[in-house]
Amino acid sequence: MGIQTIGVVGCGLMGAGIVETCARAGYRVTVRELDDAILAAGLARVHNSLDRAVQRGKLDADTRSATAGRISGTTRLEDLSGADLVIEAAAENMALKQEIFSQLDRLCPPHTILASNTSSLSVTAMGAATRRPAQVIGLHFFNPVPVMPLLEIVRALLTSDETLAVSQAFGAALGKTTIVAKDTPGFIVNLLLVPFLLDSIRAFESGKATREDIDTGVRLGLGHPMGPLTLADFVGLDTTLFVSDAMYEEFKDPRYAAPPLLRRMVTAGRLGRKSGGGFYDYS
């Protein structure tokens, strides 16, 4: 069956982008956050982004208010029980995600598809926390979600053909190009991105070049929109570390081993753009 209403768990950077993108595509979206203050901050993120789209002339005022009208917020997971598709965008913590999947499985009707935006954890393991593993899938969006044209669909071991087909149609309805990855660490994009980011950090750490020259080299020599150290700051150094640790844990391949500098920066609270500083200063 087709998707009409969406539930989103988590309204952080990725969750807010997913909420906005779904609402702009015409879906009714209910997003759940842990408490009223976090929910208000998440919804403000969505509304600010819609306002910026109006200011840039990408959205007219009527469409903006119709889009905002399709979005509602809640602190109760039960309020997502009417959704045809629930996308989990909570913290990258398997125990937490399995608990959310298990609760959603109890709350939602049998047809509901349960998806995760995880960038590093096993979707098969999330499906195992439910009684509907055939309807569990990975929908991995990219930051900034409203802008990046890709949706990486992760087919877990037990995901059905129908769940995959509905997810591909949903991605197309959002205006995204979809690719299908197996449920292996890093899927497709992070399998390639993470060693590249870590090599760039190692090059900087070992004094091979300045951070600016590493980034300029990649930007102008390879045509990337951002250099790798800027991109690591943009993704978040904690997220970069988390993903590389998860991949190293699984592959035991030194290409995925986090450089000491990255770990120390995260320990020191230099998490990139969101904390005001990472490889660069954003204060």
**Contacts with ligand CAA in 12-41 (CB under 6 A)?**
none
Burial of 155 (0-12, 13-18, 19+ CB in 10 A): buried
- Active-site residue, 152 included: yes
Among 16, 121, 231, 258, binds ligand CAA (CB under 6 A): 231
Rounded Cα gap, residues 212 and 220, in angstroms: 12
Least distance in Å: CB of 8 to ligand CAA? 16
Least distance in Å: CB of 82 to ligand CAA? 28
Among 10, 133, 138, 146, binds ligand CAA (CB under 6 A): 146
CB nearer ligand CAA, residue 142 or residue 256 = 142
Among 1, 37, 91, 147, binds ligand CAA (CB under 6 A): 147
Q: Which residues, other chains included, contact 54 with Cβ-Cβ below 8 Å and sequence gap of 6+?
A: 60, 61, 64
Q: Which residues, other chains included, contact 80 with Cβ-Cβ below 8 Å and sequence gap of 6+?
A: 7, 9, 30, 32, 74, 86, 104, 107, 108
CB nearer ligand CAA, residue 21 or residue 112 = 21
Among 101, 142, 248, 279, binds ligand CAA (CB under 6 A): 142
Number of helices (H) and strands (E) in the chain: give both, helices first: 11, 8
* Residues designated as active site: 119, 140, 152, 190
Give the binding site for ligand CAA (CB under 6 A).
49, 56, 58, 119, 142-144, 146-148, 190, 225-226, 231, 235, 239
